[in-house]
Structure 1
Amino acid sequence: MSIRIAKRARHVKSRREMDSEKRATVLVTNDDGIDAPGLRALVHSLVATNLFNVQVCAPDSEKSAVSHSITWLHPIAAKQVHIDGTTAFAVSGTPADCTSLGISKALFPTVPDLVVSGINKGSNCGYHIVYSGTVAGAREAFFYGIPAISVSYDWVKGKSGVHDFTLAAQACIPIISAVVVEIKNQKFPQSCFLNVDVPNNAANHKGYKLTKQGNSIVKMGWKQVTSETEEQKMSSDMTNIDTQTPKDSCTSSVSPEQLLFAREVRGYVLDHEDTDHKSLQEGYITVTPLAALSQAEVDCRAYFRDWLQSVTELPSSSAL
């Protein structure tokens, strides 16, 4: 009887291993840090589907709005942490570092099929995409030919709650699953990655909408402050969130001879065309294909084509 039970156990184990091999591997990163509720909600939702092998490689602290910065001059540390259903590491680097390390086979034994970066606390539309560490986490995978998705939730101060991240994650699971199918069928385009934004009212979104990156942006300015000023912290979409920086957290090392300045919101530039930000505000889950190149508009290229012709015809400075 014991031999039969042992054989059955080996058979069950081998089936589980086979099922695991068949499942796509998804690497999750973000810029809000490995303990952020957005990442935890996304990971929990992915694990709950039982469709994916989930790996996590995320910053050990918040790295909002670091854009595509990388660590170059010194090593970064990776510490394994426990997140149910995953193999997870907290890394002392940027989102781009985390993706780069996660896909390198130096940390995990295999290259993931898909990288998902998020869920960010705050939308990433328009020009804010340039600032976003969340988007950079996906873009880094794109650089190396690995399909990727960045995901953000349009957090609104005083209205949004932590549970909204779970709603946002569940709303994005169909997109992630569909992308994995395209990857397995070798149909997912290699010339782009996807940036997904979930509206504030995630439970009652209007559906998925293909959009293009607009030029919306929060205009930022500077004001001089003192060590006694409590400054609001900015999220990666440049909007105010609930948390505040402790009074002396960034001023204890400031000498009397130094001037201290803090960013402040001066205004907004909003899209009126059919772009990512406008569609998001209308209640859609926006799906925006992005690439790494920032091409100038056609009229600019035409202008400088003529302008450069005139530059080459001018006499050199040595001849003046």
Structure 2
Amino acid sequence: MDDSAAAAAAPAPVLLVTNDDGIDAPGLRFLVDQLVAARRYRVLVCAPDSDKSGVSHCITWWNALCCKRVDISGATAFGVSGTPADCASLGISGKLFDGVVPDLVLSGINIGNNCGYHVIYSGTVAGAREAFLYGIPAIAMSYDWVAGQSSVNDLKVSVEVCMPLINTIVTEIKNGTYPQGSFLNVDVPTDAAHHKGYKITKQGKYMAARVSWEQTVYKKPAVESYQTANIDVDDEKDSELVTPAENDLLFKRVIVEKFSDEVEGEEDTDRKSLVDGYITVTPLGALSRMDPDAIPYLKACVSRLDTYQAGPTDRTC
């Protein structure tokens, strides 16, 4: 059998798509459409049945998950009553898709960037991280949505500009040359159609805003949608007015200060490169790294623990 015949006989790579905006979100639907249109992949979808933005790596432990088939042309799809990490875990388990395990997991495309410290909160990133924890290559993808400037069509463009990266990664996986030590976090700039190209970056310390709490008389939005993933959305307009029970208090998060895009001056960080117009590709791992300068300090603290057992003193570490 020649090389071309062997290639034709080889099974199509299997891609699993998940997200945190929910299975009806346009970012996910555009991504699935592009993958199906490529006519080179078997596409599976296992995504939350509703918006699960900002749930980080939360998992469902005690309760069973409800999985309902969803009609998405060209794909086998399920909406799941769980978190993005749940969906990735179930999707790669071989239990939902009759023994099929994906070659690559794609999480997104999310509305709103996931740069810097936002990686910690992101359900989109968690979906990719969960696959990585179990040895499956994964890519989280997000679009830097700006309220009043971005449109749903920008999500479609974001998918289009990410496809060359997806295709290349699949080829590397097929050839056995793709490294297993990290997963990728990709952010597409606001002006996706005029990006400056791909750029390998590192996670920075970016935060979009400083958040506090205030007492309220509103519940969560009466109608949830993918748009609730955007930090700029004022959800109080569509919220339900309620009277708390006696002695109960309602509090909601509020933005007390929006930070500017004057991000840290260090070069090659994810947010700085994104603001500069690049599609950022940030390799991430699952281990939390602390400041190495803290190690000798803490060792000294621990060495003095016996001193403090006699009772409280005014000494500090």
Shorter-chain TM-score bucket reads 0.7 to 0.9
Structure 1: give runs of 5+ residues left out of the alignment.
1-17
Question: SS of the residue aligned with 2:24?
Answer: coil
Q: Is the 8 A contact 1:123 1:237 kept in 2?
A: no
Paired position in structure 1 for 2:194: 204
Q: Is the 8 A contact 1:231 1:244 kept in 2?
A: no
Q: Write out aligned runs for 1:301-316 (5 A).
A: 301-311=295-305, 313-316=306-309
Q: For residue 292 of structure 1, what is the amino acid of its counterpart?
A: A
Over aligned residue pairs, what C-alpha RMSD do you find?
2.7
Q: Is the 8 A contact 2:219 2:242 kept in 1?
A: no
Say if 2:231 is the partner of 1:239. yes
Output the TM-score relative to the length of structure 2. 0.88
Q: For residue 50 of structure 1, what is the amino acid of its counterpart?
A: R
Q: For residue 314 of structure 1, what is the amino acid of its counterpart?
A: T
Q: Is the 8 A contact 1:121 1:236 kept in 2?
A: no
In 1, distance between residues paired with 2:116 and 2:312?
46
Paired position in structure 1 for 2:65: 76
Say if 2:210 is the partner of 1:219. yes
Say if 2:125 is the partner of 1:135. yes
Q: Note the alpha carbon deviations across 1:107-152, whole angstroms, 9 max, x for none.
A: 0131000000000010000111000000000000001000000000
Q: Is the 8 A contact 2:111 2:230 kept in 1?
A: no
Shift of 1:20: 8.0
Question: SS of the residue aligned with 2:86?
Answer: helix
In 2, distance between residues paired with 1:219 and 1:195?
23
Output the TM-score relative to the length of structure 1. 0.87
User: Post-superposition, which runs of at least 4 consecutive aligned residues in structure 1 deviate over 6 A?
Assistant: 228-238
Paired position in structure 1 for 2:265: 272
- Identity among equivalent positions (%) equals 51
Paired position in structure 2 for 1:262: 252
Question: SS of the residue aligned with 1:241?
Answer: coil
In 2, distance between residues paired with 1:225 and 1:133?
26
Q: 1:52 aligns with which of 41, 46, 52?
A: 41
Paired position in structure 2 for 1:170: 160
Q: Is the 8 A contact 1:122 1:235 kept in 2?
A: no
Q: For residue 176 of structure 1, what is the amino acid of its counterpart?
A: I
In 2, distance between residues paired with 1:119 and 1:147?
17
Q: Write out aligned runs for 1:270-309 (5 A).
A: 270-274=263-267, 275-309=269-303
In 2, distance between residues paired with 1:242 and 1:121?
15
Shift of 1:253: 6.9
Q: For residue 241 of structure 1, what is the amino acid of its counterpart?
A: V
Q: Write out aligned runs for 1:6-85 (5 A).
A: 19=8, 21-85=10-74
Q: For residue 58 of structure 1, what is the amino acid of its counterpart?
A: A
Shift of 1:22: 2.7
Structure 2: give runs of 5+ residues left out of the alignment.
1-6
The verdict on how the C-alpha distance between 1:19 and 1:166 changes in structure 2, with shifts beyond 3 A counting, is farther
In 2, distance between residues paired with 1:284 and 1:66?
27
In 1, distance between residues paired with 2:248 and 2:219?
15
In 2, distance between residues paired with 1:161 and 1:244?
22
Question: SS of the residue aligned with 1:102?
Answer: helix
Shift of 1:230: 8.3
Q: 2:85 aligns with which of 85, 96, 103?
A: 96
Shift of 1:252: 3.9
Q: Is the 8 A contact 2:111 2:227 kept in 1?
A: yes
Q: For residue 258 of structure 1, what is the amino acid of its counterpart?
A: D
Q: For residue 28 of structure 1, what is the amino acid of its counterpart?
A: V
Q: Note the alpha carbon deviations across 1:265-303, whole angstroms, 9 max, x for none.
A: 122454332210111111100000001101102112232
Paired position in structure 2 for 1:8: none
Shift of 1:257: 2.8
